[in-house]
Chain A
Amino acid sequence: MKIIVAIKQVPERDAQVRIDSAGKWIEESGLQWALNESDAYALEEALQLKEKHGGEVVVLSAGPERVSSTIREALAKGADRAIHIDCADLGKLDALGVARLLTAAVKPENPDLVLTGLQSEDLGQGQTGVILAELLGLPHASLILHVEKTDAGLTVKRELEEGWFQSIELPTPAVLTIQSGGNKLRYATLMGIKRAKTKEVRVVAASELGQQTAPVVVLERIALPTKHKSTQMLSGTAKETAAALVEKLKFEARVL
């Protein structure tokens, strides 16, 4: 089974993000970067499928030079090789523009399965996998927790709302977007990190993947969220804030 896993590098979860001077994006200098969480689960699912059924796992990521560290991390965990779409201004593209780039890179590979996380932690649009399937002309299923290979294709477990699930059968090739929590994530071993250094990373310039079209949706500006509730912030030592909170809960909110 040949599996392509599309992964994204995003700001680390605890990073203090600031709006840049133009008000159109976040200040990227000084940020720490990490592999998007649900993409890590997509990679894990791919590695487990390969361990069970054999084949190859190829990671695919679009972004500037810094993305190579996240690609190495995926290779260290066990992916066989990687494709890096070198694109310095990914933020100028809309979801369709990004999916077009990924599609152009996936097509010549003819994979049996394309996996990606269900959404990114930065933009959170949750669209890339679904649009990718549409552009590749493949069936898809989203929010998948478990993948099983069958004679006819795949049986997958899809998460629905409020504790409900559903199983779906679909033929391969197919695209799946993976929900977090379906598997236990592995760490890269020392041996894995060593071997990753010798694995193939093919860098393709975005301009080689076809003409970019103007976006049809633009992020005009970013702002701090508007508060809907007036929050009383309590400060002092741990002991003081604890005592103040108990007072408030008892006599003001009356919930104790």
Chain B
Amino acid sequence: MSGIWVVVEEREGRISRISCEAVAAGQKLAALAGLTVNAVVLDAQTEALAAEVAAKALAKVIRIEHPLLAAYTADGFTLALQQFFAAEQPDFVIFPHSYQVRDYAPALAARLGQVHIGDVTDVAEGPVFTRQLMQGRLSGIYRHTGNGPCFVSVQAGAFRTAESEAVEISAAEVTVFKPTIEPAQIRTKPSEPFRAAAQTVDLGAAQRIVSVGRGIKDAGNLPLVQELATALGAELGASRPICDSGWLPTERQIGSSGQTVSPKLYLAVGISGAIQHLVGMKGSQCVVAINKDPSAPIFEIADYGIVGDLFEVVPALTEAVKAAKQ
């Protein structure tokens, strides 16, 4: 067995932030398990990214290179990593829990007879891994009991990158691994990513946001929340189900698939706080949550919480804000 391997992803040519957090998770696990941390990067060309990765406190960096890895495909990435890890026999493989990893890591683990532990928020002595259950209302503590490598992906924002910031340009040994991939083995044909129609609302620049979720029950109740937003001079945002139902345009969606915001004030109305929403707003300076369910996970990251019926609390709040301005 050969220690801990972190699969690093790039974003606009640099290590993605969540990949840095995956390295930090690897280092935390290394301290618990007494193992070394290494990294792999995959692409057609990996020299620049590998150099950036090598500046982290790592033992080895492997450049997995193949022309067929230029565009991400589940088939290509699974084959390449399977070949590398079958030879390397890692103890642990750590990924960032990105949309891309979710697309292939479960298949890679299954191909090696293992089960991936995804969306992990903590690692502790054992090692055991914590991940959320029931949309964040509960935590599950998981243990890998198989004989092969343990595959784990870490949730965005769960591990602090401070300890993984660039140290001295270390002497991480960088080598190239060339997997064998035939064009016929890549069964899907991806196109270039594209964005939806031009955004007309830039929630990222808003100082105050009032955001609405499922608790509003019906599109006809939205004016209630709009009035509060107007009184506060705030933009209106929403959680995914509101946009899925077509009650508000998708450009007002906040979360992993929508916009990421960090206003001074984020007021969440009737939003339970599933992680997909939280990742889009947890950088907010002050978070207020109004929800009828005291166990809603939104309260875990709120500065101020009101457990109550939003149909009573929101109009009262609108009045109080208006009164305070006079």
Q: How would residues 208 to 220 of chain A score, 1 for a CB under 8 Å from any chain B CB and 0 otherwise? A: 0000001111111
**Which chain B residue shows the least CB distance to A229?**
B301
Return chain B residues, CB-CB under 8 Å to A245: 288, 304, 306, 317, 320
Contact indicator B286/A249 (Cβ below 8 Å)? yes
**Which chain B residue shows the least CB distance to A11?**
B134
Once A and B bind, how many residue pairs between them come within 8 Å at the CB atom?
256
Contact indicator A166/B192 (Cβ below 8 Å)? yes
Q: A166-B191, A229-B302, A255-B264 are in contact. Are A242 and B313 (CB under 8 A)?
A: yes
Of A48-56, A91-99, A195-203, the stretch lying at the interface with chain B is A91-99
| Smallest CB separation, A152 vs chain B (Å) | 9
Q: A143-B103, A238-B312, A255-B265 are in contact. Are A219 and B194 (CB under 8 A)?
A: no
User: How many of chain A's residues touch chain B, expressed as a range?
Assistant: 35 or more
In the complex, A16→B138 CA distance in Å? 11
Contact indicator A222/B145 (Cβ below 8 Å)? no
Contact indicator B243/A216 (Cβ below 8 Å)? no
Q: B26 an interface residue at 8 Å Cβ cutoff?
A: no
Return chain A residues, CB-CB under 8 Å to B303: 229, 231-232, 253
Contact indicator A162/B260 (Cβ below 8 Å)? yes
Contact indicator A184/B246 (Cβ below 8 Å)? yes
Q: B179 an interface residue at 8 Å Cβ cutoff?
A: no
| Smallest CB separation, B135 vs chain A (Å) | 6
Q: A159-B99, A250-B324 are in contact. Are A168 and B191 (CB under 8 A)?
A: yes
Contact indicator A26/B135 (Cβ below 8 Å)? no
Q: A32 an interface residue at 8 Å Cβ cutoff?
A: no
Q: A19-B138, A242-B320, A245-B320 are in contact. Are A217 and B146 (CB under 8 A)?
A: yes
Q: B47 an interface residue at 8 Å Cβ cutoff?
A: no
Q: How many residues of B contact A (CB 8 A)?
A: 95
From B128, B148, B232, B288, residue with most partner A Cβ within 10 Å: B288
In the complex, A239→B148 CA distance in Å? 59
Q: A125-B118, A223-B141, A233-B306 are in contact. Are A170 and B103 (CB under 8 A)?
A: no
Query: What's the dominant secondary structure at chain B's contact region?
Result: mixed
| Smallest CB separation, B7 vs chain A (Å) | 16
In the complex, A225→B300 CA distance in Å? 8
In the complex, A229→B298 CA distance in Å? 11
Contact indicator A164/B194 (Cβ below 8 Å)? yes
Q: How would residues 36 to 68 of chain B score, 1 for a CB under 8 Å from any chain A CB and 0 otherwise? A: 000000000000000000000000000000000
Return chain A residues, CB-CB under 8 Å to B283: none
Q: A124-B132, A165-B193, A255-B286 are in contact. Are A224 and B107 (CB under 8 A)?
A: no
Q: B299 an interface residue at 8 Å Cβ cutoff?
A: yes
Q: A131-B106, A163-B257, A171-B187 are in contact. Are A225 and B138 (CB under 8 A)?
A: yes
Q: How would residues 268 to 282 of chain B score, 1 for a CB under 8 Å from any chain A CB and 0 otherwise? A: 000010000000000
**Which chain A residue shows the least CB distance to B313?**
A238
In the complex, A225→B133 CA distance in Å? 9
Q: What are some 16 contacts across the A-B interface (CB < 8 A)?
A: A17-B138, A26-B138, A127-B116, A134-B111, A142-B99, A142-B103, A163-B196, A166-B190, A168-B189, A216-B145, A216-B147, A221-B141, A233-B306, A246-B321, A249-B265, A253-B285
Chain A residues packing against B (C-beta within 8 Å): 11, 13-14, 16-17, 19, 26, 94-96, 99, 121-127, 130-131, 133-135, 139-143, 159-171, 179-181, 184, 214-229, 231-235, 238-239, 241-243, 245-246, 248-250, 253, 255-256
Chain B residues packing against A (C-beta within 8 Å): 74-75, 78, 98-99, 102-104, 106-107, 109-111, 113-119, 128, 131-148, 187-196, 199, 208, 214, 232, 240-241, 243-244, 246, 250, 256-260, 264-265, 272, 285-286, 288-289, 293, 295, 297, 299-309, 312-313, 315-317, 319-321, 323-324
